[in-house]
Amino acid sequence: MERDATDTVGQRTELLIRGMDCAEEIETLRQVLLPLVGSEDRLAFDLLNSKLVVSMPTGCSEEMLVAAVATTGMRASRFDEETSNADRPRTVSLRSLLTIGSGVALLAGFLSHAILTGGALEALRGEGAGTQHLVPRAARALYLLAIAAGLALVAPKAWSAVRRLRPDMNFLMTVAVAGALGIGEWFEAAAVSFLFALSLELEAWSLGRARRAVSALLELAPPSVLLLREDRSRIEVPPSEVTPGSLFLVRPGDRIALDGDIVEGESDVDQAPITGESVPVPKVPGDEVFAGTMNGGGALTVCCTKAAGDTALAHIVRLVSEAHSRRAPSEQWVERFARVYTPAVMILAVSVFLLPVLFGAPAAPWLYRALVLLVIACPCALVISTPVSIVAGLAGAAHNGILIKGGVFLEAPARLRAIAFDKTGTLTEGKPSVQQVSGFEGHDADEVLQRAASMESQSAHPLARAIVEHAASRGATSEPASEFQALHGKGGTARISGRSYWIGSHRFLEERGQETPEVHRKLDELSRQGQSVVVLGNDEHVCGFLALADGLRSETRQALTDLRACGISPLVMLTGDNEATARALGAQAGVDEVHAELLPEDKVALIEGLADRYEHVAMVGDGVNDAPAMARASVGIAMGAAGSDAAIETADIALMADDLSKLPWLVRHSRRTLSIIRANVALSLGIKAIFVVLTLLGSASLWSAIAADMGASLIVTFNGLRLLRSA
């Protein structure tokens, strides 16, 4: 769709940037575009898709952006999904062909050089400048061909860097190659050209690997859907043509194409791609299903609730694709360090050449060492060490049912020292369930449950539904109740097997005058524990009671134990519920602190207090009611966000399933990500430090320096890509 992005403040313009292949090029673009847009916040870079999203300020036009990008040696055009995907293979293929051509020419030149003179072998041993024999013309021609192919995509960017007076890695490599040629190091010049081109190819491959991991999410949605017409006939159409409210059929074993509610049929659905749940989830009419999930053995008729572009899967793909543009602290540190590191090593290189020469040393050996230092100044391995890890970490979390909105939030859980939880729907199931059934006056628990279920089956009250569901799960059956009469705010009466029964609250029992001291004591004790009590009786006595409460999730206690094992304490519960209920449930859950009877502003104040004491604090809630507290916390985490657009939009991190056990996994994954990033940075800088020393001692060669940097790039890339695994 055509958009005019010339004047409107904040209007988004999406550009495809050809040639944006690494993090340093993003920094170059940021430098040239910042004067036009005025703020870094207006620029969002999507390295995976070679896309730039700009929030346009007044007075800035798309043409101005395209012209600014052109000054860097890269090219910009309006972003289009199909054009971008079609263009990318040709770009990668050209780079690959040039790299292969450079390598073949280097090998041929080396062989001819070695066979004819043996000089290439001396260069390979690192004996340095001035030691080679005269290079044969045939070898020179092949070396020049290797240089031309290796620098074909680098030289234009190097020239742009010269024009902007901002040296980058392309400029450093070009100067190193030119200097090597100037002192007769033909093999070294060709080797540096090829190895640098190969390192760029490997970097593009690593980004492609991360890109495919994100694209695999999008491919989870099938290309077509069986739409049901009004006459119940079927027609196969693309998901994009299905409107909310339409019915579609999902056959056994099919992947579900759209979000919707089941109208007919029962089945088990594998929701792992969306929620990360390890086992299929039983689905019945009225339940929600998500695009990208796999249907089991039953046919389902589903009513579409969201357009193809608004499904939970589409949200995940879009947010994961854009998330890495929100740079993590470690990523920002690496960028700041590279800005200082590169010019510092360049100054060192100039000094290494000039100072010895000024004191009468021969120029050629020291110029060679200076050129090696220029190669070492190339920050390839360093700048790729962090973004690849961040992108892989985000994609790995998404595959495990955790949606993280940026690198800054991927790192945040690793630093957490305290976590606050909402109670209802977070630590608990969010609905009442039967906790205890007791009988009196000779009635056993099964009999009380059967008769209570018979009466409550005719009521719509939440406690009544919980009793009926509990009876069904226990297989309890009895004669249906007749003559049921609801008593508003109290309970109800009915006849079962010809006898009158009543059911209701503790207050209803007191009104009937049938309460004994023993019953009063028991019901009072349960009330203090935060449980709601439903009493069953007949005209003569109390038959028994059922205690109900919003029970803990099955995984809550273990999840909190695992978090505490991760060193996170205190674990705090925040709730608007009454003090007695909150404290009873907090004791069951095993939290360290309980704060009850809170208003939303009270929760915010408590989060502020925790932040003052512990600095790094998370708030876990439903993403809507707890939004103010989540916004105040270091990181806001939403539970069960798969069916809630509001929860996804509100939180910094969204647990797509109602599964608290994902929280300890998230903390461990975040710490693993930070550990890998630090290891990558240490390795990159360590290798460079070693080569600085070797260069000053005269023991390093140009080709070995760039080969070591390429090797470091490979290691940090594969190390970062380990985060794609969700384990």
Residues known to be catalytic: 422
The 3-class secondary structure across 56-105, one letter per residue, is ECCCCCHHHHHHHHHCCCCEEEECCHHHHHHHHHHHHHHHHHHHHHHHHH
The residue type at 557: R
Whether the Cβ atoms of residue 410 and residue 397 lie closer than 8 Å to each other: yes
Give CA angle at 58 (52, 61), nearest 5°. 50
d(CA 411, CA 131): 51
User: 166: which 2 tokens?
Assistant: 């901002």
Cβ neighbours, 10 Å, residue 483: 9
d(CA 672, CA 675): 5
Whether the Cβ atoms of residue 255 and residue 293 lie closer than 8 Å to each other: yes
Strands 653-655 and 571-574: unpaired
β-partners of residue 12 are: 55
CA nearest 534: which of 524, 522, 544, 521?
A: 544
Write the DSSP symbol of residue 426.
I
Q: Is the peptide bond before 570 cis (omega within 30 degrees of 0)?
A: yes
CA nearest 54: which of 90, 23, 85, 12?
A: 12
Query: Nearest 10 degrees: CA dihedral of 160, 162, 164, 168?
Result: 80
H-type alpha helices, 378-444:
380-385, 387-399, 407-411
3-class secondary structure, 45: strand
230 Cβ contact partners less than 8 Å away, ≥ 6 residues apart: none
270: left (phi over 0), alpha (psi -120 to 50) or beta: beta
Q: Scanning the structure block, which residue is given the tokens 């449930």?
A: 585
d(CA 692, CA 345): 9
442: left (phi over 0), alpha (psi -120 to 50) or beta: left
d(CA 92, CA 98): 10
Question: Could you give the count of Cα atoms lying within 13 Å of 652 in the half-sphere of its Cβ?
Answer: 24
Q: Scanning the structure block, which residue is given the tokens 């859907």?
A: 225
The residue type at 493: T
String of DSSP letters for 135-200: PPHHHHHHHHHHHHHHHTTTHHHHHHHHHHT---HHHHHHHHHHHHHHTT-HHHHHHHHHHHHHHH
